[in-house]
A and B are shown apart, each in its own frame.
Chain A
Amino acid sequence: MSKMKSVKIDRRSFLKMLGWGGAGTALAGCDLPTTVTLEEGKEEVVSYLMPEEYVIPGIGVWYASTCLQCDAGCGLHGRVREGRVLKLEGNPDSPINHGKTCMMGQAGVQAHYNPDRVTSPMLRKNGTLQAVSWDEALSELNGRLGAVSGDRFAMVTGTVSGHQAVLVSALMEQMGSSNHFAHETINARVWRQVCEDMLGDPMPRLRLDKAQVILSFGADFLGTWLSPVHMATEYAKFRSAPRGMLVQIEPKMTLTGGNADLWLPARPGTEGALALGIANFVIERGWNKVNVTPNVRRALAEYDLPKVEEITGIPVSKIKRIASLLSERSPALVLAGASAAGFEDGYESVAAAMLLNIIVGAVGETIEASAQFPEAALLARQGSTADLIKFAKGLENKAFDVVLFANTNPVYTAPEALGLEKGLAEVGFKVAMTQFPDETAMLADLVLPLASPLEDWGTHVAAYQAGGDPVISVQQPLMEPIHKDVRGFGDVMLGLLKARNKEFEQFADYYAYLKTAMLNMPGLADKDNKNDAAWNNLLQKGLLSAKPAKGKLSIKAHTVEVAGYQHSKEYPLHLVPSARLGLWDGRHANIPWLQEAPDQIAKVVWDSWAELHPKTAHELGVKNGDIIRVSSASGSIETQVYIHKGVHPDVVAVPMGQGHTAYGRYAKNRGANPLKVLNPITDKKTGELATHATRVKVSKVPRKNILVKMGGSETQMGRPLVRTVSADQFRRTEGEG
């Protein structure tokens, strides 16, 4: 470690904090009577020991890094002044986000400076977690790891890619275990599987910019699907002249739904039937661009429109309109996201949407083969809930002695019915590598504090490669660790590997490893450019483009079978655990900016809520702010009612993200976690948790609180604030582009 420090002093002295004397340097904004006089000698100034030429106090410098607030892999620029990172912006060179950021990316600094970070290793002694030194923590961990063999060791991470993925698999290899589980609640696993099966490419590029009409079955691509910032930049092109049209079908209005030209709530779980109905009608009218096999044709013929209307609750006229739009406004693009995939037959529903894509000729037009990253080892190990379920199964079977969690919080995100907490209690030694005292860390026997993403090194390969050339983006520290006793993820992993394999001892630290690895990367860097200049260039740019191994799409349209709709007497409503751009799956609930940012649609802050349609609310006799109990077969949660029309009447939608029982002052004991009451239903094909399949009943609780939301009037009261024009007029004035 001492060596690493000297490297840092040599090369990265600008990260040193200057003159931060705590309260003394606090920017007392305006003069209270007590601070009106300025006295000499009250504040301290500290100079650099030996500064870089370009480091000037008082002038901010921008450094490139990578955003880890979600796994989209956006490039960042961080503004560093006096050794403190102050502001994050998008890296304009990144093909993913083109210099843009979402609210979560902006809030990265608050995750970094969070007052509730774990600041030193903690070991469970006599039942409580106590602060220990790294030496003690690591010797304990190494001892435990030495005593465990093969598959009895499990590692649970979030989505992990780049050289961290390499280290993780190296560790798994060293331990002789195959139990690496990558867990991610908000994922596109089903979509990936369908793409792989039907197109031969798990993550094809979606050309929103080319599309003239987008039909989305619950894919919240502006908020939480695949790569939100990239999708939003593409959306801008899609909406510019010639303006494309967006049809969104989903039971609860998402951010994307809020921007749709036509938003239709189909009965939950019937998106597949609707897609097939549309496909049937398209073929019936002969509007299809691609012919289908007779088998498929026969299967589709079953979905005549009246039947589809009966299943989905969407009127025939609307279905016809959508079908004709898909053919009139070529090229079209059909997407399917969480609310279509989150059922037992979710795979089929998504496949139905893909079939529609094939029929209307989107494949090849708006769906392109992805640019595949040449280094397979660096590719993202994408998280899924299937892995979580596998892990839970393993726990149930008492298959693990040592579990290592890294940057993931399954104790919070796993449904109660999976019995994760109970299962973990049986595990001999649980290690949580985390920045925050989250629920998983609270259960762990050893907590290793990680450096924040803005303090750590890393490389990342986004799962959804947005540009023509695949990129690997570099994450470099933007400042010295605020807390002295934290270590980078890569450093910890490397330390564990060093204890097991002499080969790794050539690397002083993860930085050295990464630098060597990057400079030696075949096909990426120039051969004769393995020097500091190339490295500095890389850091300056923040990413490296690779020559793409261009894939090809091969269409394999097959028959799709979707289940019909079943009513339930006992549990009449569907629970929609809606994902929020902001709190995400709950990992950002400890960021005050994101808690204070109103939900995009409901505009509620700092709490959970259950969205009910006015009709449903009327039947239940509840008003805004009333507390209701939402109970499924697996448990119940209580939260406040928020009534609005953007939900299907059969649905109660509770956003994810709140309901933490730990996780610091901003998150703890706030709202309810809908994931907890999900029934352990899985998608038949992929084994993914069927997030939207849980049926619930709702009862009124005789309590009330004030619904804290932004905004007074819900409508404009006839004032011309947001004015609208028709698309025709837009076409007339701004043309076809």
Chain B
Amino acid sequence: MSKYRLLAMFDGFDPAIDTINAIKAEKLAGVSVDDITVMSPIEHPDIDEILGDRPVNIQKFTFLGALFGVTFGFFFLSSAQASFLVQPQGGKPVIPFPSNFVLMYEMLIFFGVWTTVFAFLWMSGLFRKRGTLYSEKLTVDQVGIVVEVEEHQLENTRAFFNDHNALEIREEKA
């Protein structure tokens, strides 16, 4: 049995939210609210709310990156300084804290930012192949809902979306 993906397009958020609420209320057989994907031109707080607890883990990477930055910074700087003993003195010690703190601060941010960005690219699944179901209207004002169903539920789903005022429905084989 092959699986199909369906994209239903809605005019604005209100019908989409209604549809999701309907799915949440298990009006659509075989589709759980956890499996649907909502595509929208902007981010809508209500949709987040309805879709429930979908975790975001970027901040953990950020934390680790920043932590790495600051520790790496310290050891990098002080090992460089400790191996370069002819460096300017000016009456200052070999491993001076004030300047190292400044540089560690910068390195904290540097690594923090970069890990955040890499984490974003990875976690948001930007490069992941997820079918071709897409419509250019999604970047104008329409909201799309993508569900994955078994072949036998295809008709049923279509009807469901049409019931909920979907403007357009596209489908593809998973």
* In-complex A–B contact (CB below 8 Å): no
Measured CB to CB, the residues of A under 8 A from B are: none
